[in-house]
């Protein structure tokens, strides 16, 4: 009988709504990177892997204090931020001891895909995804898996980027949201001097690490950068000079 006291329940209404995954993981093929620069991947006698493991120990201590989202910056450009951020992500995820997401937030000078030797799939660069969120997209975040414990959200080396997206509140929301799915989130940030971009990253993370190259960075610039960041979230300065073998 089907009168007006009968409620017809369609099957789709009684089945539980499938929760859409908030993060889509795609696997990328990565070509062997330069292991002389990425010492965590190379067969090297240099002290860098040991130094990185000591830094990891310090960050694991911070993790137990509730800090796991770390931004990497430097006073000026080309001082080794992306290289260090990548090394840090590698050492934190070493032997699958922690799940790590490496996020590219230096949107005007992207380099993570090149350093790690992979291609960002079309439309999946960080800033393109941010812009779609700004326009109301409910698509899951797409991250690239470079290993079972290391995921990357990078800018494309070939497609147009949207660096201004860094200044939207969606950037901060994205870092907070994605951070909940990982043991560590490493944000490769912009440099400090000459813009407020690094301060945007600072707002989104638990702590900032400043990278400097002992042989190339200026002490005055470093002091000025540390002053601009303030000490609320400054974790410390890493002096980072790797002597290339050969």
- Considering only 93, 106, 125, 127, the residue that binds ligand ATP (CB under 6 A) is 106
Six token digits for residue 198: 């690094």
The closest residue (CB) to Mg ion is: 82
Residues of this chain, 185-214, that bind ligand ATP according to CB under 6 A: 191
Specify the DSSP element, H or E, that contains 246: none
156 binds Mg ion (CB under 5 A): no
Pairwise CA distance, residues 126 & 77, whole Å: 20
Which one of ligand ATP, Mg ion, none is in contact with 242 (Cβ closer than 5 to 8 A by kind)? Answer: ligand ATP
Sequence-ordered list of residues with C-beta below 8 angstroms from that of 89, at least 6 positions apart, any chain: 100, 101, 102, 150, 152, 184, 186
- Give the start-end residues of each E strand in 63-206: 69-74, 100-104, 141-145, 150-153, 184-188
> What Å distances lie between residue 36 and 46, 54, 210, CA to CA?
10, 20, 22
Pairwise CA distance, residues 10 & 4, whole Å: 16
Question: Measured from the CB of residue 128, what is the shortest distance to ligand ATP in angstroms?
Answer: 19
Nearest to 233 by CA among 65, 104, 79, 70: 70
- Considering only 48, 52, 71, 82, the residue that binds Mg ion (CB under 5 A) is 82
- Considering only 62, 99, 109, 233, the residue that binds ligand ATP (CB under 6 A) is 109
242 binds ligand ATP (CB under 6 A): yes
Contact map string, positions 98 to 137, toward Mg ion, x by CB under 5 A: --------x----x--------------------------
Pairwise CA distance, residues 95 & 86, whole Å: 16
79 binds ligand ATP (CB under 6 A): yes
Contact map string, positions 221 to 240, toward ligand ATP, x by CB under 6 A: -------------------x
Piece of the chain touching ligand ATP by CB under 6 A; list 77-85, 137-145, 151-159, 172-180: 77-85
Which one of ligand ATP, Mg ion, none is in contact with 208 (Cβ closer than 5 to 8 A by kind)? Answer: none
**Residue closer to ligand ATP, measured from CB, 14 or 214:** 214
Which one of Mg ion, ligand ATP, none is in contact with 25 (Cβ closer than 5 to 8 A by kind)? Answer: none
Main-chain dihedrals φ then ψ at residue 205, nearest 5 degrees: -110, 170
Q: How many CB atoms are located within 10 Å of the residue 177 CB?
A: 13
Give the footprint of Mg ion on this chain (CB under 5 A). Answer: 81-82, 106, 111
């Amino acid at each position: 009988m089907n009168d007006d006291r009968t409620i017809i329940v369609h099957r789709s209404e009684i089945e539980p709504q499938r929760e859409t995954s908030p993060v889509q993981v795609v696997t990328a093929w990565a070509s062997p990177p330069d292991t002389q620069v990425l010492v965590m991947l190379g067969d090297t006698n240099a002290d860098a892997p040991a130094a990185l493991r000591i830094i990891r120990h310090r960050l694991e201590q911070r993790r137990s204090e509730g800090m796991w989202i770390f931004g990497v910056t430097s006073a000026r450009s080309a001082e080794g931020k992306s290289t260090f951020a990548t090394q840090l992500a590698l050492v934190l995820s070493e032997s699958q001891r922690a799940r790590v997401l490496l996020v590219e937030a230096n949107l005007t000078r992207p380099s993570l895909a090149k350093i790690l030797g992979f291609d960002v799939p079309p439309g999946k660069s960080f800033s393109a995804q941010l812009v779609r969120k700004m326009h109301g997209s409910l698509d899951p975040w797409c991250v690239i898996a470079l290993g079972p414990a290391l995921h990357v959200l990078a800018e494309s080396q070939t497609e147009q980027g949207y660096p201004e997206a860094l200044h939207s509140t969606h950037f901060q929301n994205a870092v907070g949201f994605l951070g909940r799915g990982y043991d560590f989130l490493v944000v490769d940030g912009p440099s400090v001097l000459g813009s407020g971009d690094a301060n945007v990253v600072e707002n989104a993370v638990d702590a900032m690490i400043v990278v400097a190259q002992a042989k190339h960075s200026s002490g005055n610039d470093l002091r000025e950068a540390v002053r601009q960041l303030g000490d609320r979230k400054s974790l410390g300065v890493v002096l980072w000079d790797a002597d290339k073998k050969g």
